[in-house]
């Protein structure tokens, strides 16, 4: 199979899959998701992603239809059915119980499980990226990977229009505190130290973020999980962007002005070790 779509036990090429119109996702975006890369048919950091997935579901009172072990086994089996072992593995649950737009729900009904597998290769992070900034107007459940992604979709589109690859968000009502990106986490390097926003309700606790922090500490760099503002971002020695499919990217342009370039040795040290970790874990 070139791609694979899965829904409640049925699977086929994605283009052949059909989802019931009264799945609650269509009415409310009522669900949560997670995703990560797969290389050589090995899903990277699968246990960490599944833990976060189940945590998101629990925070939204969604009854999971499988255990963590059952989901891990299912994903491991599904990737073997695709022609390539380099994949983007996406999975979500939507709240169980079909509805005619009834907002309330039956908490006892298990969720609907979706999986999609598409060809993708991990980015090496060598090429710098451009970013823009804009106010973070999203809801205060950014720590949950909910399916309600319209604010992130719009922010990502603004970046595309500007010829940039990502939008870095900040909270105007919190002293221009930098939170994260439209679909990534954001970090800075300043005076040889890695700074990253704390994992409160304003950011998603990224898996790649956790690996970056662990790697920085392993390599002997100081790490500070503290808030920083827009001016600090712009004046940082380096700006890093991390996600599950792009483990460590560095920014060379922000709002059409050059940034970074003051500690490329530390950037390359982190980037190369994270890429090595990925390939070692998926061989």
Active site residues: 33, 145, 180, 204
The residue with tokens 């105007």 is 172
User: In Å, what is the CA distance from 260 to each residue of 106, 159, 257, 266, 270?
Assistant: 51, 19, 10, 12, 15
Computed on alpha carbons and rounded to an integer, the radius of gyration of the chain in Å comes to 19
Question: In the chain, at which residue ranges do the beta strands (DSSP E only) sit?
Answer: 4-7, 10-12, 31-39, 42-43, 87-94, 112-119, 129-135, 166-171, 177-181, 185-190, 193-196, 222-224, 238-242, 249-254, 257-258
Decide if 115 contacts 75 (C-beta within 8 A). Answer: yes
Judged by DSSP in three states, 207 sits in helix
Judged by DSSP in three states, 33 sits in strand
Interacting residues of 199 by C-beta distance below 8 A, sequence separation 6+: 143, 205, 225
């Amino acid at each position: 199979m070139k791609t694979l779509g899965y829904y409640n036990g049925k699977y086929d090429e994605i283009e052949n899959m059909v989802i019931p119109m009264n799945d609650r996702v269509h009415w409310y975006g009522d669900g949560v998701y997670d995703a990560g890369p797969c290389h050589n048919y090995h899903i990277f950091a699968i246990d960490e992603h599944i833990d976060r997935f189940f945590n998101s579901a629990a925070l939204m009172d969604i009854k999971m239809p499988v255990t963590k072990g059952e989901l891990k086994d299912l994903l491991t089996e599904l990737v073997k059915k695709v022609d390539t072992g380099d994949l983007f593995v996406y999975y979500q649950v939507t709240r169980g119980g079909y509805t005619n737009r009834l907002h309330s729900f039956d908490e006892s009904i298990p969720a609907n499980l979706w999986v999609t597998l598409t060809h993708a290769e991990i980015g090496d992070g060598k090429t710098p990226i451009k970013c823009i900034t804009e106010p973070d107007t999203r809801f205060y459940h950014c720590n949950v990977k909910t399916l309600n992604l319209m604010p992130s979709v719009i922010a990502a589109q603004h970046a595309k229009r500007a010829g940039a690859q990502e939008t870095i968000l900040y909270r105007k009502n919190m002293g221009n505190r930098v939170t994260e990106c439209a679909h990534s986490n954001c970090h800075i390097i300043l005076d040889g130290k890695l700074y990253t926003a704390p994992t409160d309700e304003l950011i998603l606790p990224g898996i790649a973020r956790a690996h970056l922090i662990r790697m920085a500490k392993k390599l002997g760099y100081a790490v500070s999980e503290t808030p920083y503002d827009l001016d600090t971002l712009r004046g940082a020695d380096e700006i890093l962007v991390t996600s599950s499919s792009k483990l460590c990217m560095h920014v060379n342009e922000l709002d059409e002005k050059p940034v970074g370039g003051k500690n490329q040795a530390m950037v390359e040290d982190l980037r190369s070790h994270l890429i090595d970790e990925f390939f070692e874990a998926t061989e």
